[in-house]
Amino acid sequence: MEFSPRAAELTTLLESRISNFYTNFQVDEIGRVVLVGDGIARVYGLNEIQAGEMVEFASGVKGIALNLENENVGIVVFGSDTAIKEGDLVKRTGSIVDVPAGKAMLGRVVDALGVPIDGRGALSDHERRRVEVKAPGIIERKSVHEPMQNGLKAVDSLVPIGRGAMTSFLAETTGILQNDLKRVIAYSTCSQLGYMIFVCGIFNYSFSVFHLMNHAFFKALLFLSAGSVIHAMSDEQDMRKMGGLASSFPFTYAMMLMGNLSLIGFPFPTGFYSKDVILELAYTKYTISGNFAFWLGCVSVLFTSYYSFRSLFLTFLGPTNSFGRDILRCHDAPIPMAIPLILLALGSLFVGYLAKV
């Protein structure tokens, strides 16, 4: 079987023989284009080329060597490849991608490679610098615990804090205007979610989960107690049509009182341990965002206290505004409903203390 070496192998062999025979003779690496298209040229003969080295085609177009293979080199053409033909010569420049720099560049218009295109001639008395250089060594520094208070970092930090604090504040301001017993409790839920979000914004995620757990107990207690009242009042939910129900609902009244005390952060039920520490964490951040969350959170607590005791007064302690027949049919929570209320009340009183460590 007759063996016919390929052109690339033959060229490499001849260059090697010539360089070994004439020790004082330097062989310049020149390749030829074997394939070109879509801005990529395949070139053989450039065996010593480096990755990222600039090359120049016979037409004057330049390119960069990126894909180095045994048989040929992949060249990315800078510009149009229409002037490049198969068989064209390609020569190395010996320089990794660099661009001119220095005062000679001032006032000149150049292309992406630093070649003047303003018609004022070539650059004179300039230095060249590589586009990619080795990065400096690792510098020891103190770890970052606090977000920067300017630029995008401040925006990134304020998004959860601002949204959480504003959610809490707006939900509270809406809750003070509600007359529906369930809606008052529902808006207080939105407010507590705001606390959970803004404590995440100050990077204390564990306390967000802590408040979520505590909130589950006293909010479930409030909703279930409200459901007991609404059911006994023939599905009436408007607090203005209730009043004076403490004598008819002593047990439910006690349950709602405990739930509301925990909700407003009264010492020392469950809600106090998480809500108090969230406000403390926001205040001790000593940042603009932390102070913003702290003061809005404090105002929200005042609003929470207002509509919580307003709901208790309108429902249980105020003058009776319902029909006598409705009052006569009223009954306190039955045993199947009282048992979960008691369990939730215990959680609303003691879970915060037991889990605070």
CATH, residue 38: 2.40.30.20
Report which of 251, 249, 240 is spatially closest to residue 318, judged by C-alpha positions. 240
Q: Are residues 177 and 273 in the same domain?
A: yes
Looking at the domain assignment, is residue 11 inside a domain?
yes
Three-state DSSP class for residue 63: strand
Q: Is the pLDDT of residue 2 over 50?
A: no
The CB-side HSE value for 275 (13 A sphere, CA atoms) comes to 29
Strand stretches in 133-287, DSSP E: none
The CB-side HSE value for 19 (13 A sphere, CA atoms) comes to 10
> The domain containing residue 79 runs over which residues?
7-18+29-97
Q: Are residues 75 and 187 in the same domain?
A: no
Q: Are residues 171 and 300 in the same domain?
A: yes
Distance, first Cα to last Cα, the chain: 85
DSSP 334-347: -HHHHHHHHHHHHH
> How confident is the prediction for the chain on average, in pLDDT?
81
- Which letter does DSSP use for residue 239 in this model? G
Q: What is the mean pLDDT of residues 305-333?
A: 79
What's phi and psi for 82, nearest 5 deg?
A: -70, -25
Looking at the domain assignment, is residue 244 inside a domain?
yes
Report which of 301, 315, 314 is spatially closest to residue 173, judged by C-alpha positions. 301
* Bridging pattern class, strands 98-101 and 127-130: antiparallel
Q: How many domains does the chain have?
A: 2
131-172, pLDDT tens digit by residue?
777 766 666 666 655 554 444 445 445 567 777 788 888 888
Which of 81, 97, 113 corresponds to the end of one domain?
97
Three-state DSSP class for residue 276: helix
Looking at the domain assignment, is residue 313 inside a domain?
yes
Which of 63, 80, 97 corresponds to the end of one domain?
97
Helix (H) or strand (E) holding 199: helix 181-201
The pTM is what? 0.54
What's phi and psi for 309, nearest 5 deg?
A: -75, -25
Which of 97, 124, 145 corresponds to the end of one domain?
97
Q: Are residues 83 and 164 in the same domain?
A: no
**Residue labelled with tokens 């008819």:** 248
Looking at the domain assignment, is residue 133 inside a domain?
no
348 vs 219: CA distance, rounded Å: 9
Q: Are residues 196 and 277 in the same domain?
A: yes
Q: Are residues 173 and 319 in the same domain?
A: yes
The pLDDT assigned to 151 comes to 47
Q: Are residues 85 and 160 in the same domain?
A: no
Looking at the domain assignment, is residue 138 inside a domain?
no
Please name the residues in contact with 256: beta carbons below 8 A apart, sequence gap of 6 or more.
221, 222, 225, 226, 312, 315, 316
The pLDDT assigned to 175 comes to 87
Rg over alpha carbons for the chain, rounded to the nearest Å, is 39
37-66, pLDDT tens digit by residue?
888 999 988 888 888 888 989 888 888 888
The CB-side HSE value for 226 (13 A sphere, CA atoms) comes to 23
Looking at the domain assignment, is residue 326 inside a domain?
yes
Looking at the domain assignment, is residue 81 inside a domain?
yes
Q: Are residues 198 and 330 in the same domain?
A: yes
The CB-side HSE value for 86 (13 A sphere, CA atoms) comes to 4
Q: Are residues 90 and 227 in the same domain?
A: no
**pLDDT-derived band of residue 202, with 50, 70 and 90 as boundaries?**
confident
Distance of CA 58 to the CA centre of its chain: 51
Looking at the domain assignment, is residue 332 inside a domain?
yes
The pLDDT assigned to 1 comes to 41
The pLDDT assigned to 260 comes to 92
Q: Are residues 178 and 315 in the same domain?
A: yes
Q: Are residues 176 and 261 in the same domain?
A: yes
The pLDDT assigned to 20 comes to 58
Q: Are residues 53 and 176 in the same domain?
A: no
